[in-house]
Structure 1
Amino acid sequence: MTIRPSAVILGLAAMLALPAAVSAKDETPHDRAPAFQGVLNCRGIADNAQRLACYDAAAAKMGEAETHGEIVVIDRAQASAAHREAFGLHVPSLSFVTRALRPEEVNRIEGVVDTAHADANGFWTFELDGGAIWRQISGELWRPPRHGSKVSIRRGSLDSYLMNVDGQPSIKVHRDQ
């Protein structure tokens, strides 16, 4: 097998260009709604009057887009509440909600047991105060949960979840709804 020098040069050029393309992509901001990006674009205008006119026009477009449902604006508290409601459910299309949250907020939630009942095998089903239903799939509780028990649920490995009930050792759980 003979390797032509031109093929080697083309291969090396492609490999050298790849990191530049990847780093350029990494430096760009998240895909932004055009109405929001329009406001950000005004920052680069040096003349005060032109910059103000740009901001006024862009803010009006952003307000219209929000009114018509073309963009949705949420704050950190709303993102946290939405994440808490969806925690444990496989909803990858909502991953944009967690951009504003810290890793410990994304990987763990705290809650309070509203109701709990055991099945015939002794595994518990928990309904938390927000309506989420979690089912025990392995592990053992020393004390049965009760109304008002404090729970901490965190991500485990391989899409699993671990729950601590009133400080007891972790049990493996699954979110049913």
Structure 2
Amino acid sequence: MTFLRTALPLLAALAIPALAQAQEAPRPELLNRLTDCRAMTDPAARLSCYDTAVEALDAAERQGEVVVVDRAQVRESRRALFGFEMPSLPAFGRVTAAEDEVSSVETTLTRASRGGDGKWVFRLADGSTWRQIDSESVFFSNREGTEVRVRRASMGSFMMTLGSSRAVRVRRDQ
């Protein structure tokens, strides 16, 4: 037992940097070529290197081989995809600041109806559809415009609050 108490924190400390490295995607070669130009000391050679690298990067972006997104676009995409399990994509998987992580979404109810299993299906103003997955009764104002908050809960689940109702466990369908 003492061995486990000592070994587990050590194993976790060793595994976390390895996991972070595995999830970190390499920079695109076109970007590396551009940044490598800084190392050139001859001004004419450096300018020529920049011109060539920028033209290649610009052409790749125009052809859709490289996609450039800013932090605001990443935040909006993360918000729109909130509730879905996504593959680890470098643009959407890497979070550099705590405010970039989406932990909840606030919107309004468009409509709610009961499915064939008697559980609620919620359609929200942001275009998402969520399905009740617990079997508890939930009482809420089933009116368009009712305030809704969906938040992350434990073990990858999500909880929805409609107005002042109790939280209901949900999963995202659309």
- By the TM > 0.5 criterion, same fold? yes
Deviations 1:135-162, CA, capped at 9 Å, x for gaps: 1122443423421122222222222111
Shift of 1:102: 4.0
Taking the aligned partners of 2:96 and 2:165, their CA distance within structure 1 comes to 27
Change (3 A) 1:91 1:49: same
Match of 1:51 among 46, 53, 66: 46
TM alignment of 1:22-101, pairs within 5 A: 26=21, 30-94=25-89, 96-100=91-95
Aligned equivalent of 1:173: 170
Taking the aligned partners of 2:146 and 2:32, their CA distance within structure 1 comes to 46
Deviations 1:40-73, CA, capped at 9 Å, x for gaps: 2233334444433322221111111111221111
Question: Residue 134 of structure 1 contacts residue 173 of structure 1 at CA under 8 Å; is this kept in 2?
Answer: yes
Larger deviation, residues 128-137 vs 76-85: 76-85
Larger deviation, residues 66-75 vs 149-158: 149-158
Q: Aligned letter for 1:172?
A: R
TM-score, length basis structure 2: 0.71
Match of 1:130 among 112, 126, 129: 126
Match of 1:153 among 150, 163, 168: 150
Question: Residue 136 of structure 1 contacts residue 174 of structure 1 at CA under 8 Å; is this kept in 2?
Answer: yes
Q: Aligned letter for 1:155?
A: R
Change (3 A) 1:170 1:132: same
Q: Aligned letter for 1:111?
A: T
Taking the aligned partners of 1:160 and 1:55, their CA distance within structure 2 comes to 48
Change (3 A) 1:164 1:55: farther
Q: Which structure 1 residue ranges, 5 or more long, are not aligned?
A: 1-18
Question: Residue 161 of structure 2 contacts residue 168 of structure 2 at CA under 8 Å; is this kept in 1?
Answer: yes
Aligned equivalent of 1:113: 109
Question: Residue 74 of structure 2 contacts residue 91 of structure 2 at CA under 8 Å; is this kept in 1?
Answer: no
Change (3 A) 1:101 1:56: same
TM-score, length basis structure 1: 0.70
How much identity, in percent, do the aligned residues show? 35
Structure with max Cα Rg: 1
- CA-based RMSD of the aligned residues comes to 2.9
Change (3 A) 1:32 1:118: same
Q: What SS does structure 1 have at the residue aligned with 2:156?
A: coil
Question: Residue 25 of structure 2 contacts residue 90 of structure 2 at CA under 8 Å; is this kept in 1?
Answer: no
Change (3 A) 1:134 1:101: farther
Taking the aligned partners of 1:93 and 1:51, their CA distance within structure 2 comes to 35
